[in-house]
Structure 1
Amino acid sequence: MTWGIQNTQADADEQIEYAMACGINFIDTAEMYPVPPSEETYGDTERCIGNWLARNPEQREKLIIASKISGPGFPYVRGNSMISSATIEQALDASLARLQTDYIDVYQLHWPNRTSPHFGKHWPNQVMATQQKVKAEKKRMRDIVLGLGKALENGKIRHWGLSDDTTWGIHTYLNLCEELGVAKPVSIQNEFSLLQIKDWPYLIESCVFENIAYLPWSPLSSGMLSGKYIGGARPEGSRWTMTQRQGLFRNTIYSEQAVVAYCDVAKKHGMTSSQMALAWCDQIDGVTSTIIGATNMLQLKENIEAFDVSLSDACLADIEAVLQQFTAPF
């Protein structure tokens, strides 16, 4: 999601090829990327991937490419409209054109039409469930499933998934799919890291029992867990030096204290804090595949190497001690 704003096409090419050489075959993107999003850069990450695919068509079948349709929130994306059967058709055709492919392996709903407890809105009474219009929401979800069913039938997508949704969202879609005879969602990607564990254990249990892949995004909590922002540091070219759409809601005094503590644990056990944070995500029961992001090759190599790291019992105990102290730092 940095390709097209922090990274050039050449950077994207290098990262794709290095990742594939390391055995990675899953590329996750979205129509609204790169981030921070803007009308000027809208769709550019998909374009970077598509340009590479156009030059390497023989590699397409080796990859699982996932993209996402944006929900309401952007006036320049289909006039700020909600996700629907009609907008799925529009967005999907545009993504296919930018990606220069005739199918997307996993097409995801980037966030629900309703306001959900994500993007820092997970504290009590920030999202009022009693004020949701459930009947209208289910009607919109039914229309979405029909649109996804059409996309599956015509071969434009092979599977579909969710993102930034809840346990209720998962099971409502499962029920609608059974009722309408449409293939069920295969995955959900939600924010999950040492600083954000709201999905454990209940949503992750649902994913395991329903055979839905759980894909953590922001496992380094927007780069915080690397330690690079400690003490108000803002390394040149880092995402936090850029204009933020929603503000740095993760940047609290408690988050800072937690990151310092995690960095100390990582140093004690002979690894970088980024690698420890990624290895921790990877060993959580029910986590299917952790979505990593890297702006440069040094970060990419460090992140990929994390999945060969085995955390000792002593390290896990030290991590748990910090986690108990800073369970919800933002």
Structure 2
Amino acid sequence: MRYNRLGNSELKVSEICLGTMTFGDQNSEADAHAQIERALERGVNFIDTAELYPVPPKAETHTRTESYIGSWVGANPGRRDEFVLASKVTGRSRMLPWMRGDAGELPQLDRSNIERAVEGSLKRLQTDYLDLYQIHWPDRNVPKFGEARFDPDRDWDANPIHEQLEVLADLVEAGKVRYIGLSNETPWGVMEFVRLAAEHDLPRVVSIQNAYNLLNRAFEDGLDEIAYREEVPLLVYSPLAFGHLTGKYLDGAAPDGARLSLYPEFGNRYAKPGVEPASRAYVNLAHEAGLDPAPMALAFCRHQPFTASTIIGATSLEQLDSNLDSLEVTLDDDLLAKIDEVHRRFTNPAL
């Protein structure tokens, strides 16, 4: 296991991060604890969660993931400093009127909502501090979760980024949050956070958590240079494209217990015409190289110079071990060139 520094912070995170969005739905509390134990045993020192989890989000299950992690932390009080713990505050969404218990109100990123969100996360996680606190998605109008274009006609009055940074600065000052990060953010958004932090002596974001995989390399269209030059490295989520890059959904297959078999509507961002032929091409390429498709896809994400950590999610210890075994896979220049050739034929079909 290698460890990478997050931006200009003191945090060094394992190149594989334990994702937890199945805890509380597909995984029980006992499953969650077993995964945490196994990940730590194998050198993972980074756990990522969110107040919204598990997903798909539901009123009756949201926040359960943090509670499951927190019950492990509470049962192992001497081990909190062994790992970097990250969570997220939910951005504005009309689909989540029940968020934070405010029936009929929209969760958003004003002072009251951010402060209540972090207090809730700390209580559920049974910790006094979060190493990394991320804005789950922007409070303003931006393309979200598979949308390809910005639509100015949908604009609204958003809570200013400067004000969001001021609240986060207070949380850092109070010792409740060590560092801050972004998620599902755009190039303009990252640069605005960086600019305002510098102008007003406010905390600087140290990471960005965005979708990135062989079917969606949009991060390379501007955010990659920003990540490098501004020291805001990528935390990759969805490196297997909801499982499409394993090949398990080819030819209309719906394996028992698979996320898209249980929640087919949840994978709409991948329900696009080019996804199947692109997935098949990458699966075939992996087999030609003598690799399983999943380790190849994970290794590709780790290989990128702008990546600090790749978030993996599993529903069993066997799947978790398999994902961690991908650390042994390296991609040579010839295979990377072949991957780029497939990318030219099927450019970002999941976007």
Q: 1:16 aligns with which of 36, 39, 43?
A: 36
Distance 1:26 1:172, change over 3 A: same
Residues 1:47 and 2:67 aligned together: yes
SS at match of 1:161: strand
Greater strand content: 2
Matches within 5 A, 1:126-165: 126-129=149-152, 132=155, 136-137=157-158, 140-165=160-185
Contact persistence 2:133–2:179 (CA under 8 A)? yes
| C-alpha RMSD of matched pairs (Å) | 1.5
Q: Give deviations 1:28-61, integer Å, cap 9, x for gaps.
A: 1000100111000010110110011011111100
Q: Distance in 2 between matches of 1:96 and 1:320?
A: 43
Distance 1:130 1:285, change over 3 A: farther
Where does residue 168 of structure 1 map in the other structure?
188
Contact persistence 1:164–1:190 (CA under 8 A)? yes
Q: What letter matches 2:321 in structure 1?
A: K
Q: Distance in 1 between matches of 2:152 and 2:211?
A: 20
Runs of 5+ unmatched residues, structure 2: 1-20
Distance 1:22 1:118, change over 3 A: same
Q: Give deviations 1:195-239, integer Å, cap 9, x for gaps.
A: 001110411111111111211110111111111111111111111
Matches within 5 A, 1:1-330: 1-73=21-93, 74-78=96-100, 79-122=105-148, 126-129=149-152, 132=155, 136-137=157-158, 140-243=160-263, 248-330=268-350
Q: Distance in 1 between matches of 2:116 and 2:64?
A: 17
Q: CA deviation at 1:81?
A: 2.7
Q: Give deviations 1:160-190, integer Å, cap 9, x for gaps.
A: 1000011111111112212332110111001
Q: Give deviations 1:265-305, integer Å, cap 9, x for gaps.
A: 11111211110000011111211111111111121111111
Q: What letter matches 1:240 in structure 2?
A: L
Contact persistence 1:36–1:244 (CA under 8 A)? no
Q: Distance in 1 between matches of 2:169 and 2:337?
A: 46
Q: CA deviation at 1:244?
A: 5.5
Contact persistence 2:283–2:293 (CA under 8 A)? yes
Q: What letter matches 2:98 in structure 1?
A: Y
Q: Distance in 1 between matches of 2:199 and 2:153?
A: 26
Q: CA deviation at 1:256?
A: 0.5
Contact persistence 2:24–2:68 (CA under 8 A)? yes
Q: Distance in 1 between matches of 2:85 and 2:336?
A: 33
More relative contact order, 1 or 2 (CA 8 Å, 6+ apart): 2
Where does residue 3 of structure 2 map in the other structure?
none
**TM-score, reference length from structure 1:** 0.94
Q: Distance in 2 between matches of 1:259 and 1:127?
A: 27
Q: What letter matches 1:127 in structure 2?
A: F
Q: Distance in 2 between matches of 1:272 and 1:247?
A: 23
Q: CA deviation at 1:115?
A: 2.6
SS at match of 2:87: strand
Q: Distance in 2 between matches of 1:195 and 1:260?
A: 11
Q: CA deviation at 1:312?
A: 2.0
Contact persistence 2:242–2:267 (CA under 8 A)? no
SS at match of 2:134: strand
SS at match of 1:105: strand
Contact persistence 2:91–2:107 (CA under 8 A)? yes
**TM-score, reference length from structure 2:** 0.89
